Amino acid sequence: MLHFSRLKMIAILLACLVSILFALPNLFTKEQLASWPRFLPTKQMPLGLDLQGGAHLLLAMDTGELKREWLQTLRDDARRTLRDAKIFPTGVGIVNNHVQVRLAKAEEADAAVRELRKLVQPLGSAMLGTSGEDITITKGGDGTILLEPSAQGLQQRVIHAAGAAIETVNRRINALGTAESTVVRQGADRILVQYPGLTDTKVLKDLLGQTAKLSFHEVHPTMTAEEVRQGRIPTGYRIYQASERGDEQGAAYLLRETPVVPGENLVDAQPGFDQRTNEPIISFRFDQAGARRFGRFTQENVGRPFAIVLDDKVLSAPVIREPILGGSGQISGSFTVEGANTLAVQLRSGALPVKLTIAEERTVGPSLGADSIAAGKLASIVGGVISMIMVVIAYGTFGVFAVIGLIMNGTMVIALMSAAGTTLTLPGIAGLVLTVGMAVDSNVIIYERIREELRAGKSAVSAIDAGFTRAITTILDSQLTTLAAAIIMFWLGSGPIRGFAVTLTIGIFTSIFTAVTVTRLLIALWLRSERAKPGRIAVPI
Amino acid sequence: MRFFPKFNGYDFFPHGTRIDFMRWRDICFWGSIVSIIVSIALFLTMGLNYGVDFKGGTMLEVQTKSGTPADIQTMRNQLGGLGLGDVQIQEFGTTNDVLIRLEAQPGGEEAQQAAMKKVLDTLGDGFVQRRVEVVGPAVSAELRRSGVLAVTAAILAIMAYVWFRFEWQFAVGTLLSLAHDVLVVVGVFSFFQLDFDLGIVAALLTILGYSVNDTVVVSDRIRENLRKYKRMELRDLLNLSINETLSRTILTGVTTIVVLIALFVFGGSVMRYFTFAMLLGVLVGTYSSIFIAAPVLEYLGVKRETVTGEKAAAGARS
């Protein structure tokens, strides 16, 4: 137990040296590190948002809305498909969670199902061995057909929407500045945004708070929304409410549901000011296809109004004075300067596929973060120093060896976290301090064992040897059980629990290493130097 | 050659103690059972003072810009009239630091955000936001579920490990002492209605780790002595094992407690409840290893044959 080959010794020393090198950058500022030679590691432990200050937003996608939208498209598609096939149902509508088609003639059911099957899309891939369809079609009695979105179909849509939403969120956040923000998916329908350094989340929330689906619609040529309210809405038209931010609050418009130009054709949007009224406006530009379509529409409809619709609310419905052929225009809607800026960013970065709500928000101001770092540092130093003094008092020279091991332990945890880029959080600091406390335990177990063996009358060498041999199983057992708890914390825990679990786990491994190798090596070296001296070896413990 | 300074350590603890721990076995054992039952009763009747993490709602920490003490009474009047239900306002750490808590607002995620906005608008410009936590109903429900799951899974995993390494009797002892530790800490938090949030769950899990660490050290010695002294009465053997490991138990316990006190005093107000739970847990965990895990072995009776059977291999090694 106490013999170390030269190779092993060098390996241990090397491990310590490398750890010190990797831990070292944490003592310097970023500016100082910039001037370091290239071959030295300069990575610091990344600080969690609770330490450096910043915002953490967990956004949830409205999957219900996603499903509603899907059902609407499905209804429209079913209606069109049947019409194309010259089958005329008496009604196509959304009932609960499916689209219900009621046929005029029950004998057309088979033909109708055949046509509707064209809407079904296969899911999954043959390669992955998954299969299925996104819609199930069932024939009810008396000429009804039910189209029902399947669970997997919805799941796939959620995944697609999440991917698209992440891209949009990223683009919108990047417009805020160049901070190192991260946007990642969490679970199936959640998006986690982390934005270091940001404390006032209002701007961020405004930016992400609306889907910003902009489209341009034709207004019904003859009928108004009021006239239609009592009677039947003409096919293809829908009543839209005026936006709260527009000029005509409370008004309603009868618009064609399919837009003349959808928002996807928008390529640029910039905030600006109206030259006459000096009111904030947004000028936009269409791509070629959009410009052509808009040009043709305005040519044919001079003197009639069209509607600019944002998120299903009418922003304004100006009258077309002359054909707009250049593919650009401007939107006004009693914006504030700030509002115009936000909307321009939203329009530029594209619409969100679905509305996002804030499921969780955690923000830490920079002053609190700095306070936490200072408090954590002080607590670690005080706790560390006191426990080390105790160990030295209790075990003398051997205590000093243990303290060297403990310092090495702390260094290694910091080195590993820096090298692996593991974030240090406030609970993480607690984990670090606690690791030091528990690492003392390994040494205590070994030394108490050595004392016992000495009392039993063994010689110094065999007592030390037995102390290490016997104590190791105990140390392993006790540390591995703690490890089990730490792994479960990491696996099931969230946020603060995870940060704590990570440092604890790393600390368990390093404390086993330092107690059974670093400290043991020091004792072996000590023994060697004692043996060179004449007389019986006395263990200073 | 004199590389190393040489000075002797001071042996704090008397060795070769013969404290009859098993004499208090019955009192402590039943005392522990009673404290478990009381804790469960407290939890069921008084419940826990859940933080924002588990209950949902909003927590704001604000600081006066001027650095002067905040006028809590005025704030209470202003915010109380907003119609946001129960608004808790308290000083936090220093007199110019205030913690505001809103209960979960009916109406899902968006309602929480609206409520927070109202509070911030009402407070006006005199304050700096130090910390904001808004947890919606979906997330808080998940956090509750995963918290309970994590603690249960940790206990079971630890028990499985102990079962694998020792005899089943040891696993039962461990299970009982772990359940005791967690429940007593929960009971204390319930009785004093202290804030119970995610950090406390982390503390509970660490307490489990510490407590089982302690239990394993004692169990290890019991197993070793079972092989060494084949004729000794089980009761005496348990006493001996606890006595032999006593110096370690105390030294490690004291060191950990010292470190925790440092965290408690200097670690800032955000960590205070966490360290308090840990302190409590270390005390309870040390107690439970000696007075629950070990006596259970006597109640259940460890089969020596199995343990001795293994001995041949282990004995040959040492």
Query: Does residue B248 have a pLDDT over 80?
Result: yes
Decide: A432 and A410 in contact? Cβ < 8 Å: yes
Q: How far A446 CA sits from the closest chain B CA (Å)?
A: 9
Domain boundary among A290, A320, A339: A339
Q: What pLDDT digit, counting tens, does each position of A4-32 carry? A: 888 988 999 999 999 999 999 988 888 88
Say if A103 falls within a structural domain: yes
**Alpha carbon separation from B5 to A2, A144, A398, A401, B50 (Å, rounded):** 20, 94, 10, 11, 53
CATH fold match for the domains B21-50+143-317 and B58-133: no
Decide: A483 and B154 in contact? Cβ < 8 Å: no
Do A302 and A223 sit in the same domain of this protein?
yes
Do A43 and A106 sit in the same domain of this protein?
no
Mean per-residue pLDDT over chain B, rounded: 84
The structural architecture, per CATH, of the domain B58-133 is 2-Layer Sandwich (3.30)
Radius of gyration of chain B (CA): 25
Look up the CATH number of the domain holding residue A290: 3.30.1360.200
Distance of CA A100 to the CA centre of its chain: 38
Q: What pLDDT digit, counting tens, does each position of A442-476 carry? A: 889 999 999 989 888 888 889 999 889 888 888 88
Does B7 sit within 8 Å of A396, measured CB to CB?
yes
Does A394 sit within 8 Å of B10, measured CB to CB?
yes
Decide: B291 and B242 in contact? Cβ < 8 Å: no
Does A444 sit within 8 Å of B157, measured CB to CB?
no
Q: What's the CATH superfamily of B21-50+143-317?
A: Multidrug efflux transporter AcrB transmembrane domain (1.20.1640.10)
Query: Does residue B307 have a pLDDT over 80?
Result: no
The reported pLDDT for the residue numbered B315 is 41
Local structure of residue A103 (DSSP, 8 states): E
Decide: A283 and A330 in contact? Cβ < 8 Å: yes
Decide: A430 and A499 in contact? Cβ < 8 Å: no
Local structure of residue A234 (DSSP, 8 states): P
Local structure of residue A517 (DSSP, 8 states): I
The reported pLDDT for the residue numbered A528 is 86
Decide: B277 and B185 in contact? Cβ < 8 Å: yes
Structure token digits, residue A145: 């057909």
| Distance, CA of B297 to CA of A415 (rounded, Å) | 43
| Type of residue at A526 | W
| Distance, CA of B115 to CA of B105 (rounded, Å) | 7
Does A383 sit within 8 Å of B263, measured CB to CB?
yes
Say if A358 falls within a structural domain: no
Decide: B218 and B243 in contact? Cβ < 8 Å: no
Structure token digits, residue A372: 């936490």
Say if A97 falls within a structural domain: yes
- B interface mutation test: which of A392, A477, A508, A521 has the most B CBs within 10 A? A477
Say if A371 falls within a structural domain: yes
Do A371 and A518 sit in the same domain of this protein?
yes
Q: DSSP states of A188-215 as a string?
A: TTEEEEEEET---THHHHHHHS----EE
> If pLDDT is split at 50, 70 and 90, which confidence band does B305 have?
low
Q: DSSP states of A289-330 as a string?
A: HHHHHHHHHHHHTTTSBEEEEETTEEEE--B--S---SSEEE
Say if A216 falls within a structural domain: yes
Please name the residue of chain A whose CA is at the shortest distance from the CA of residue B152. Answer: A488
Say if A185 falls within a structural domain: no
| Distance, CA of A448 to CA of A277 (rounded, Å) | 86
Do A527 and A379 sit in the same domain of this protein?
yes
Decide: A298 and A320 in contact? Cβ < 8 Å: yes
Number of domains in chain A: 3
| Distance, CA of A48 to CA of B202 (rounded, Å) | 17
> If pLDDT is split at 50, 70 and 90, which confidence band does B316 have?
very low
The reported pLDDT for the residue numbered B79 is 84
**In A, which residues are within 8 Å of B251 by CB distance?**
390, 394, 444, 448
Q: Which helix (H) or strand (E) holds B99?
A: strand B94-102
Q: How far B107 CA sits from the closest chain A CA (Å)?
A: 12
Strands A328-331 and A313-316: unpaired
Do A526 and A396 sit in the same domain of this protein?
yes
| Distance, CA of A442 to CA of A476 (rounded, Å) | 9
Complex confidence, ipTM: 0.84
Residue A103: phi and psi, rounded to 5, are -85, 150
The reported pLDDT for the residue numbered A131 is 62
Decide: B205 and B212 in contact? Cβ < 8 Å: no
- A interface mutation test: which of B132, B200, B214, B219 has the most A CBs within 10 A? B132
Look-up of token digits 């955690």: A362
Q: What pLDDT digit, counting tens, does each position of B69-125 carry? A: 888 888 888 888 888 888 888 888 788 888 898 888 887 777 888 888 888 888 888
Does A391 sit within 8 Å of B133, measured CB to CB?
no
**In B, which residues are within 8 Å of A60 by CB distance?**
109, 136, 138
**In A, which residues are within 8 Å of B136 by CB distance?**
60, 357-360
**Alpha carbon separation from B272 to A381, A471, B200 (Å, rounded):** 17, 34, 10
Structure token digits, residue A517: 């190798």
Residue A343: phi and psi, rounded to 5, are -65, -35
| Distance, CA of B91 to CA of B71 (rounded, Å) | 10
- A interface mutation test: which of B207, B251, B274 has the most A CBs within 10 A? B251
Do A83 and A44 sit in the same domain of this protein?
no
Say if A301 falls within a structural domain: yes
Does A492 sit within 8 Å of B198, measured CB to CB?
no
Structure token digits, residue B292: 């629950």
Decide: B150 and A488 in contact? Cβ < 8 Å: yes
Look up the CATH number of the domain holding residue A109: 3.30.1360
| Distance, CA of A237 to CA of A258 (rounded, Å) | 8
Say if A382 falls within a structural domain: yes
Most confident of the following: A102-116, B12-26, B143-157, B274-288: B274-288
Do A120 and A147 sit in the same domain of this protein?
yes
| Distance, CA of A256 to CA of A58 (rounded, Å) | 36
Radius of gyration of chain A (CA): 35
- A interface mutation test: which of B65, B94, B206, B289 has the most A CBs within 10 A? B206
Q: What pLDDT digit, counting tens, does each position of A183-217 carry? A: 888 888 899 998 888 777 888 888 888 888 888 88
Does A396 sit within 8 Å of B268, measured CB to CB?
no
Please name the residue of chain A whose CA is at the shortest distance from the CA of residue B208. Answer: A485
Do A326 and A382 sit in the same domain of this protein?
no
The reported pLDDT for the residue numbered A20 is 94
Do A372 and A286 sit in the same domain of this protein?
no
Residue B212, beta-bridge partner list: none
Q: How far A330 CA sits from the closest chain B CA (Å)?
A: 31
- What are the helix (H) ranges across A24-127? 30-34, 49-52, 63-84, 109-116
Does B61 sit within 8 Å of A382, measured CB to CB?
no
Structural domain range at position A409: 6-49+367-531
Q: In what order do the strands lie in the sheet with A214-218?
A: A214-218, A306-310, A313-316, A237-242, A252-256
Task: Pick A379's closest partner by Cβ from B10, B220, B262.
Answer: B262
Q: Which helix (H) or strand (E) holds A100?
A: strand A98-103
CB-facing half-sphere around the CA of B256: CA atoms within 13 A: 31
Q: DSSP states of A430-497 as a string?
A: HHHHHHHHHHHHHHHHHHHHHHHHHHTT--HHHHHHHHHHHHHHHHHHHHHHHHHHHHHHHHH--THH
Question: Hey, is A359 helix, strand or coil?
Answer: strand
Question: Any idea where the domains of chain B sit in the sequence?
Answer: 21-50+143-317, 58-133
Do A117 and A245 sit in the same domain of this protein?
no
% of chain B residues with pLDDT over 70: 92
The reported pLDDT for the residue numbered A128 is 54
The reported pLDDT for the residue numbered A178 is 61
Do A510 and A411 sit in the same domain of this protein?
yes
Q: What is the mean pLDDT of residues B239-247?
A: 90
Residue pLDDT tens, chain A, 541 long: 677 888 988 999 999 999 999 999 988 888 888 888 888 888 888 888 888 888 888 999 888 888 888 888 888 888 888 888 888 888 888 888 888 888 888 778 888 888 888 888 877 655 555 567 888 888 877 778 888 888 888 888 888 888 888 988 888 888 877 667 888 888 888 999 988 887 778 888 888 888 888 888 888 888 777 777 777 777 778 888 888 766 666 788 888 888 888 888 888 888 888 888 888 888 888 888 889 988 998 888 888 888 888 888 888 888 888 888 888 888 877 778 888 888 888 888 888 888 888 888 888 988 888 888 888 888 888 888 988 898 999 998 899 999 999 999 999 999 999 998 888 888 888 788 778 777 888 889 999 999 989 888 888 889 999 889 888 888 888 888 888 888 887 887 776 678 778 888 898 889 888 888 899 899 988 888 888 877 777 777 7
